[in-house]
């Protein structure tokens, strides 16, 4: 398996997002936290094409990313783990990010989600 090196600015933002999730009662496993780091870097380096915003608009991208991750705290896969006091495993967090992404930006990207 190849080692994925996450750029510092993305790692810091992922850590901030993980802290926000923790404040909402969502505790990530180590692999889920790694997924968050990769997702943050991928979001900025390979963003989707938006209907009415530029892919280069960093503030817009950041706002949408934070909305997706915030929404993921309430997505049913993640919420079930949160309610039971368990850490959110990789597969649950992966599903949570996907569902939340679809809910948050599904109607504002060109290809659908």
- What are the structural domain ranges in the chain? 10-105
In the chain, % helix, strand, coil (3-state, to 5) comes to 65, 5, 35
- Burial class of residue 36 (count of CB atoms within 10 Å of its CB; 0-12, 13-18, 19+): buried
In this structure, what is the dihedral angle of CA atoms 87, 72, 56, 110, given to the nearest 10 degrees? 130
pLDDT in tens, 23-69: 999 999 999 999 999 999 999 999 989 888 887 899 999 999 999 99
pLDDT in tens, 56-104: 899 999 999 999 999 999 999 999 999 999 999 999 999 999 999 999 9
Strand partners, 28: 88
Quote the strand ranges of the chain, DSSP E. none
């Amino acid at each position: 398996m190849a080692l994925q090196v996450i750029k510092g600015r993305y790692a810091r933002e992922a850590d901030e997002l993980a802290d926000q999730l923790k404040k909402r009662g969502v505790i990530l496993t180590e692999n889920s936290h790694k997924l968050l780091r990769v997702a943050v870097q991928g979001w900025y380096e390979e963003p989707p094409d938006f209907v009415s915003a530029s892919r280069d608009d960093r503030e817009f991208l950041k706002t949408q990313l934070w909305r997706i991750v915030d929404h993921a705290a309430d997505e049913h896969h993640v919420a079930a783990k949160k309610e039971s006091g368990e850490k959110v495993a990789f597969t649950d967090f992966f599903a949570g990010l996907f569902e939340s992404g679809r809910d948050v930006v599904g109607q504002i990207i060109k290809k659908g989600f």
